Amino acid sequence: MENGAKPEEPLLPIPMEVSLPPERIEEQAKAIFPLEVWEHIFGFVDLELTPTDFMALVNTSPEWRLVLKRSVTSALLPLVLPLVLEYLDASEKPLLKNVLSWRRINKNVKNSVDQILSSISTSPRKYYERKSERNVSRWNSFKTISKLQSLIHIVDKRNHIWSSGNLHSLLRHFGNDDEAKCNPFLTRTVELKINPYMVNDEQRLHSLLVRYGHNISALTIKMEGTLPLDTVHRLMSLLRRVPNIKVLKLGDYFGVDWYEGGGDDGRITPVNFPNLNDLQCLDWSFTDEERFFRLGLQFVEQYGQQLHTLICGVNFLQTFDVTTLNSLLPNVRCLRVGLVRCQDLYHLDTFTHLDWPLEELQLSSFHTSVKNSVVDFFCSISKFAPTLAYLQIFSEFPIHEDFKIQCNPEFLLSVNGLMMIHHSVKKLSTLLTNIHSAWFKHVVPTKFPNLEELNLYNSLQQDDLEDLKIIFSTLPNLKRIVIFHYRRKNSNEQLDEPRKLILKR
């Protein structure tokens, strides 16, 4: 310190007294920096505060709330928008119009809306949940329960490129965007339908994807009809244009002979797969696994190590031996298996040998037969006891099996592995009718003692209420029962929108 000069006082913290009136607080803040500078310091440009961090900051004291009051609305908007979208009392079309209008308020609002819509539409976990929700009902009139997801579904449909007309419309609309600065896919979800009639438009499609494909995070490719023999290589060419996808769904009806021409080992000609480093979810549920096996094997060999979510039919698992499944798909955490055949509904032996760290398992859309056994099923999933947190069973097990348990519940204890306790399972979803079954009453409380949430689907009857009360007494850690209830709309047996009923302890 020279010439006895006084040391400079630090700029922070601001010497504010809680007892000061608001106008004095602002004066003290301005004395150090103009408010615009404070907003810049705590804004998103330099420190990149998340909305949650910003909320924590303004809640620390009245002083900071006043200093940053002009930024509160835009900074906290991402936390509020999901609630507004979910509970806004509006039908789908007005709601969509409002959301699109909000994007024009300012850049922050636009980015917030886009981020919310795309994160829900393209998140592998959200995709898995949304697909589960849509497939749980047996009725075609089932509607998405969430208004927000319903809105996203509408926006997603705008990104369906199913015909030459769809493709030409997109190219016309964005033809003047020479620098490809915009994103034509609001939710970053796109569905392509490839058929013999679209082959002539392939160059235009590639032109679109070259410019905007990097914006796509979730891609569905549906291939129909008997396509040219080089279709696999054309498919790879399309995938190279979408390097950032997280979710890939391949589906519908593939031509009979387009994948022929493989080697002696039964595989198709080696394919040069693109790098899709962000791919986490593969939806194989609507392919014919037997005819599509060879390409499927190469897909798994190429991307299996990075997959966390797998949605497939039972035949997909049956076409691979267990050693192959364990080595090529070691990180699968969410598995949804749709069981589509009555003659060989599922082979539970596969589950008993899988070493996957499953956290969620869903068995859906399968029929019951004499072959099905509740005993075999619960024995087969015991392998996942250390990690499984959420189990979904959308099936009614056969009456003869239930009667056997009802008459002799003690035999459950004699079956090796059946009553192994799953301490990690906190959530169970099933059909509401199953709560009356013997397997539910005798197996669930013992096998899943730490269950915290029970989700039940289908129409609620008056007789169900008593059994619902009993469930709370048999599961001491159960916090709530969520019932997705479908009411009859009229005498024509049409179903109304599903209602969510929540029962808490």
How does pLDDT run across 406-446, given as a tens digit for each residue?
A: 556 666 666 666 678 899 999 999 888 888 888 888 889 98
Return the number of other C-beta atoms located less than 10 Å from residue 114's C-beta.
Answer: 15
User: Which has the closest alpha carbon to 311: 345, 264, 362, 348?
Assistant: 362
CB 283 within 8 A of CB 289: no
Beta strands 247-251; 218-223: pairing state: parallel
Query: What whole-number percentage of the chain has pLDDT above 70?
Result: 64
Q: Locate 392 and state its tokens.
A: 């979904």
Give per-residue pLDDT as tens, 356-368: 999 999 887 555 4
Q: Give the up-direction half-sphere exposure of residue 86: CA atoms within 13 A in the CB hemisphere.
A: 9
Lowest mean pLDDT among 27-31, 373-377, 421-425: 27-31
The three-class DSSP label of residue 68 is: coil
Section 333-343 average pLDDT: 70
Contact 284, 310 (CB under 8 A): yes
Token pair recorded at residue 77 = 């908007």
Range list of H helices, 174-273: 202-212, 231-240
Residue with tokens 């008997």: 226
> What is the C-alpha separation between 354 and 334, in angstroms, rounded?
13
- Which residue has tokens 């590639």? 206
Handedness of CA 95, 101, 103, 108 (dihedral sign): negative
Report the pLDDT value the prediction gives residue 490, as an integer from 0 to 100.
54
> Which residue has tokens 């008593």?
466
pLDDT value at residue 274: 93
Banded pLDDT at 397 (limits 50, 70, 90):
low
In angstroms, the CA 367 to CA 86 distance is 34
Task: Name residue 424's beta-bridge partners.
Answer: none
Contact between 505 and 480 (Cβ < 8 Å) = yes
**Residue 485 Cα distances to 83, 92, 386, 482, 505, angstroms:** 22, 21, 32, 9, 19
pLDDT-derived band at 240, boundaries 50, 70, 90 = very high
Average pLDDT across the chain, whole number = 74
**Mean pLDDT of all residues in 149-158:** 76
Predicted pLDDT at 130: 66
Domain ranges of the chain: 19-78
- Residue 13 is predicted with a pLDDT of 44
State yes or no: pLDDT of 226 exceeds 90: no
Q: What local confidence, expressed as pLDDT, does residue 486 receive?
A: 67
DSSP state at residue 260: -
Percentage of the chain with pLDDT > 90? 18
How many angstroms separate the CA atoms of 477 and 5, rounded? 68
> Which band of pLDDT confidence, cut at 50, 70 and 90, is reported for residue 255?
very low
> pLDDT tier at 196 (50, 70, 90 boundaries)?
low
Is the pLDDT at 12 greater than 70? The verdict is no
Q: How far apart are CA 230 and CA 202, in angstroms?
A: 13
In terms of Cα–Cα distance, which of 88, 85, 222, 209 is closest to 155? 85
pLDDT at 31 over 90: no
Q: What is the pLDDT of residue 243?
A: 95
Between 51 and 492, where is the model more confident? 51
Q: Which pLDDT score, from 0 to 100, does residue 286 have?
A: 64
What distance in Å separates the CA atoms of residue 380 and residue 352, rounded to the nearest whole number? 5
In whole angstroms, what separates CA 29 from the centre of its chain? Answer: 45
Number of H helices and E strands in the chain, helices first, is 21, 13
| Model confidence at 404: pLDDT above 60 | yes
Looking at the predicted structure, is the pLDDT value of residue 66 above 80? Answer: no
Q: Evaluate whether 394 touches 367 at the Cβ level (below 8 Å).
A: no
- The three state secondary structure string of 7-57 is CCCCCCCCCCCCCCCHHHHHHHHHHHCCHHHHHHHCCCCCCCCCHHHHHHH
Residue type, 17: E
pLDDT at 198: 66
Characterize the bridge pairing of strands 499-504 and 480-485.
antiparallel
The structure tokens listed for 233 are 């290589």
Residue 266: pLDDT over 60:
no
Identify the residue with better confidence: 3 or 297. Answer: 297
Residue-level pLDDT at 18: 46
Q: Compute the C-alpha angle 150/154/160, nearest 5°.
A: 140
Closest CA relative to residue 454, chosen from 383, 394, 391: 391
Looking at residue 141, its pLDDT comes to 35
Model confidence at 278: pLDDT above 90:
yes
Q: Which residue did the predictor score with more confidence, 23 or 134?
A: 23
